[in-house]
Structures are given as C-alpha cells and as structure tokens.
Structure 1
C-alpha cells in the first residue's frame, strides 16, 4: 500500500502525552484526618498578580475581598498554586489564551471528568491516552519540594491510587492508561512504589528530565539504581515530560515566554545525552525511557554527534568503561521520542527510527491539536506508508506500554 492518500483515515490515536486536572477531592478524600489541613486542598480566591518570565511562573493570591479575578487555588503547606487557562486551554481560540486564573467551572469538563474526557477523545479520533498530572507537576516535584516527606509520600500514594482506581478505573473502559508518581527524594521508596503499582498493571512512571535541577542526584550516579532496577524488573517505562525539571529552557530572566516555548525540546536533548552516556542502559537492559512533548526533529543530529564523541573521545571523555556500544544503538533499543506537530522530524524519520517514535495530542493544553489531531496527523504523515503510520500513531505505544492488541489498558476494571 502506498502512502496515506490511499488510506481512508488515520488509525485511532493512542496519545502518550495528555494531561489531567485533578478534581478537588483527590487528596482530601484519601489522606488521614490529621493531614487534611496541610495536605492539598482547594479554595476560591482573587488573583493579586501573576507573571511567567525567564521560565519562572509566579502567581500571588489575594486576600478575601480583594479586587482581582477569582480563581480556584490549590493550597499545600505554604504553597498557593492557582488553576490557569494554560492548564486547560482547549475549546478556546489560540488568540484568546492568556495567562489568567480560572475556576473549575471555566474549564472544559474533560479536563477532570472521565466521561467528558472520553467524549472529547472521541471527537479527536483518540482511542487511548496517557495523562500527566497538573497540581503535582509533571513528575511530582510539588511533593518533593514540600517539608514533610511523610505527608509527601502519602500524597504520592493517594495520587497513584486515584490515577489507577478512578481516572483509569471502570468508567474509563481501558481507554485511559495509568502514569504514576514516585517519591523522588528516596530511591528505595521509589522502587517500592514502582513495584506496588506494577502489581496492579501500571507500566509507566513519571521522572525528571534533569534531576539535579530539583536538587537531586544525576543519572550518572548510582543513587537511582534501586528505582531503575525496579523499572527494569517490572517493564515500567520512565516517562519524562518537558518541564519535569521545574526549569523550562530560557535565555534570560526577562525573556518572554515565546523564547522558552520555541526551545522546549532543549531539556529533552540534554537529558537524552545524559542517559546515553550514563551506562544505565547497559546495566539495566530492559529499561525504556520516553520524552513527552519534546518533539523529534532534533534527534538525528544529537545521535550523530554522540556517536562521534563516543568513537573519538570516549577515553578522555569518561565513558569508555561504562558505554561499550555506540549511543545511537542504545537509543534504538531504549529511547522514544514523542511528538504532536513535527513535520521536519517526520521527513527525517529514517535517521530516528520508526520504532522509536510515539504520537501525542497534549489535551487540554494550549499546544494541543484537539480537536483536529486526525487532520494534523494526516497532513504531516501523508508521505508515509500506512504500516509506518500505524506504528507511530498506535503500534509502538501498544508494544511499549503493554496494552492489549486493541490498544486498551488491561489493568483493573
């Protein structure tokens, strides 16, 4: 069969990067009573001021009765974090999307409600989806930065229970694929949480693209080995979203958000080189990692450069004793790039590898291709053979995440 022009439609999409906005009761209904006043909870309050410059998000909550737009805010220890339009922008014109606080009533219900999410997936030609968190941030940094790690661990476990039992529970009909969190501050506890969730069918866990930005050890150390061993043993994929180091790429403190938005792939690029030069893929041969929302067009050059450095400089470069194969070979066996809008990457697919690419829709964020993901995919993949399109849009995700042949999560119903 020739390219997409001879097919009737894009195959049903399995999106490996969507997002959920947690309902207000996720932690209040699961934490012990003694933690309800310090654990995550929501209030409605006015906004005093808000900025997002140099990759830093700074909201300030007003006091009751103050002037300013009302929004719903998450409170946790001393943290005050509002819901914003950027958390859930689908349904709005791109020109109408701005940095503003909102309430749950002002967002699309599919952001937090399972039946509404499935309906929006139907509209968008999406069969199944993996969802990253919002309030915990992309790999649970919110709980890692908190003072009380006993409470933090309970919050991580409560989120994971909600993710598996409710968000991906019976109402989801196998169409929502669980992605869980770990207590990043303790690799042994992280390993235990990976195994706890793997026992109930979870095959993906969120992690930081650059842990040292969070004050944590790098992947070049041995500190993460208990966690990585658990992922290797259980077939749990390490999923790293752009921004999961709490530091979006930027160039200066006064650079407008458009600068960072243009170079969002940069942390993924740096992270992938870390992993390829770490020796971890040879120590943990079943380990798989994926980069959500990093796009793929940058990958061919980095692989070429990494191979040259490994071939010519591995002696003085400090990797000869732990990286015994060309980085491009390790990439092929262990790394997956994820994209939703990357025509250049698709034109250079041979230099990346058909088996190393996953598709995403980024619902409900401002970059999302919802509700036109099918049309976007058909336009960008029209030059590819139908079997290649099938692998990118769903086949690779089925294999990587251990889904049923029909593309559904086979865990608890």
Structure 2
C-alpha cells in the first residue's frame, strides 16, 4: 500500500470511530454557527391526546409504562410499541444505550421544551435546527389513512406551538398523510400558513396510485408555488414498519445491524421514482430532501443511473431525457447526514450544493454534543467555502431561513 493510500485508510479508520470519541478535541472557531438540517422532537405524552380531533381521542397514541419500567408510545392497531429510551439517547456513551428502562421524565427536556432546546443548541454549537417528528415517523406506516391524518393534524398543531418558543432557531417541518391529491394540496397550503418550512411525506402515499402518477402533478405544482421542499425521512416506508424494535420487512438474518444497513433503501427508491418517472423534468423547481439516509452512497448511485441511461435506455424504452439522471439528482435532491465521513470526502463528485449536515438531536444516532469536534475531524478535505455551504448555507437557501451569520 503506497503512502497516499495508507493515509486515506488511516483517515477512514479514524473517522469511523463514533463522534463521542472526539469529545476532548480542541476545535478552531469556524466564524459561523452550523444549522442542523435534521433534528427531532420527542413527542410528550399529551401531543396526540390533547391536540387530536375528539373523535380519535380515546385511541390517540399514548405513553404507557412497560414491564421493564420504561415508557413506550402505544399506537392503536400497531403491534410495535415505541420505546422512548432509544428516541432520546443523544450524548449517552455507546455502551450505555438501551431501548428499555427510561421514563419520559429522564429524557432530554429539549426534546419538547423550546427554551431548553436553545440551551441544547448552544452546547452543541449550532445556530438552529430543522425539526422533524419521532413517533410521527413511524406513524407514516399506519395502515389506517384517516387515523394517520388525524395524528398528523394533531402533531402539526403541537409543533406550531413548540417552534414559537424560538422562531429564529426552531424550523418545523409539517406532516401530511397524503390521503388524496386534493387534500394533500390543501395540507401543503395549511402547512405553509402555519409557518412551517417544509412538508414531510410518507415514502408511499395512501392513495391507490403511486407518486409517479400524473394525477399527483397538482401536489408538485403546489409545492413549487409555496416553496415547500418535500421531505422523505427514513423509517417512513411500509417496509420499515418494525424498525423501531430492530427489524424491517424483508430483512435477511436476525442481526439488528442488518436492519440499520437497510434503512436507506426506501429513500433511494423514492429518488429513483422522481428522476426516472420525469417528475423533476416536469417540475424543474421541485425540491426533494432525502432525510437521514446518509450521502456517501450518492456518487455511485448517480453514476449507476447514468450508466443505465447510456447503456440500456433503448431496450428499456426510457426515451430521451432533457438532462442526465445524475444532473436531476444534483439539481433537485438534497441529502442530510450526520456522521458520514464519506459524504465530505466525495463532496466534489456529487456536488456540495446538495449536501446538508445534521446533528439528529436527540436521537441515538446523534452527534450531539460533540458535533464541533466531529466536524473538525471529518471536514479537513474541504475548502472553507465548501464547508460553510454544507454546514450552513445550503439549508439557509433551501428553506429561505431568516438567520444572521452568527459566530462560532
């Protein structure tokens, strides 16, 4: 192995260690504060009960104490119970992370208290966060679209109050159940009116036809007109329905690690759908955010799409596209990631304008409160301009955030 290859391997090995290993590192100020493109709330026990349509109150998602003394969210007609311990394990030593035993009172208060959240941001050195749900992710997989819609409406009401605690630091993403095209268009308008900065959609709609159907065109047109990016988060596909307890549909083997490896696949399928079915070709200003599925895989994914187009489009009857598939990826798709050294390393290949770093607070995969130290380790190959774009500028431009420069 030559010297260059050896250094590259050493850098990979060093970056592969969890962010917590960088806790003691000294870091130089960036001159600005990053903004997390994907953070979460921890739904408090009253989120759905207090804010849901009274028709559903008796069966609204609720918190119960399990036999191990931990709190879990119980959702009507979903076998899986969602343990709160795993949803708010940011900052915990990897050896101490567990899915059992924690009560709601023991979790990060910043998961549901806006003022406490600002203190958490200060500790991690971030200027703001794009806010996604936790229980609401897995509710995307509920088989009753009416129940799902009622839960999302309740969540949006709660989230509007949460982000009002610090409107210049907390930027909520609303949810829609996609029960019908017309209702989804109205949901998008309501989400914008509520002051949210984007819309989170399940990877599969509740309609009898998929997103590639031209009947969805009014939704894409509304998203463009309202300047609402479409977010597709991991764990929001039917294949991920059991992921909260470590298993997904179609998983091979018994290892929970295999489940973790497979979480990005549904998001990749959505991206392919929007590119190959020419949704981006028809709506060139439409923006899609692939949330928490990492990004280091993207250069090969883009290359593979171009290969298929160049080599196989004739027998596959793909037809001519106005741009190469990889260019639609660059122009219309954004990717959020937290601990992904390869994403930084290959930024030149995919284009740094589509990458958005996130701290994923307060989830177990979070880099909080060591984000500054981890970023210092992983972004050494970037220019200052590239680093600032990935850590801050891209998310500001995509969501048109009213933020000031700030200082590190």
TM-score computed with the length of structure 2 as normaliser: 0.84
d(CA) in 2 for partners of 1:347 and 1:31? 45
Structure 2's unaligned 5+ residue stretches are 1-25, 241-247
Query: What SS class does the counterpart of residue 102 from structure 1 fall into?
Result: coil
Matched residue, 1:121: 121
Question: How many matched pairs?
Answer: 373
Deviation at 1:306, TM superposition (A): 0.9
Deviations 1:337-393 (A, max 9, x none): 112122222121111101111010111111111100111111111221111111110
d(CA) in 1 for partners of 2:348 and 2:93? 35
Deviation at 1:312, TM superposition (A): 3.0
Decide which moves more: 266-275 or 171-180: 266-275
TM-aligned CA distance change 1:307 to 1:107, over 3 Å: same
Matched residue, 2:235: 243
d(CA) in 1 for partners of 2:49 and 2:336? 34
d(CA) in 2 for partners of 1:228 and 1:369? 33
Matched residue, 2:143: 145
d(CA) in 1 for partners of 2:396 and 2:154? 27
Matched residue, 1:220: 212
Matched residue, 1:402: 400
d(CA) in 1 for partners of 2:345 and 2:126? 24
Aligned positions of 1:67-86 closer than 5 A: 68-79=67-78, 81-86=81-86
Matched residue, 1:87: 87
Q: Report the structure, 1 or 2, having the larger strand content.
A: 1
Deviation at 1:118, TM superposition (A): 1.4
Matched residue, 1:262: 261
Deviations 1:97-152 (A, max 9, x none): 123253211212122221222111110011111122122225x415x5237x1x54
Matched residue, 1:54: none
Aligned residues: CA RMSD: 2.6
**Does the CA contact (< 8 Å) of 2:251 and 2:259 recur in 1?**
no
Structure 1's unaligned 5+ residue stretches are 47-67, 409-413
Residue among 331, 340, 345 paired with 1:333 = 331
d(CA) in 1 for partners of 2:365 and 2:148? 30
d(CA) in 1 for partners of 2:249 and 2:348? 30
1:342 aligns with 2:336: no
**Does the CA contact (< 8 Å) of 2:68 and 2:101 recur in 1?**
yes
TM-score computed with the length of structure 1 as normaliser: 0.83
d(CA) in 1 for partners of 2:391 and 2:318? 35
Matched residue, 1:178: 172
Deviation at 1:223, TM superposition (A): 4.1
1:24 aligns with 2:55: no
Matched residue, 2:59: 38
Deviations 1:24-43 (A, max 9, x none): 2223323344432123333x
Deviations 1:236-283 (A, max 9, x none): 111111221142467645421112223433333333222211100011
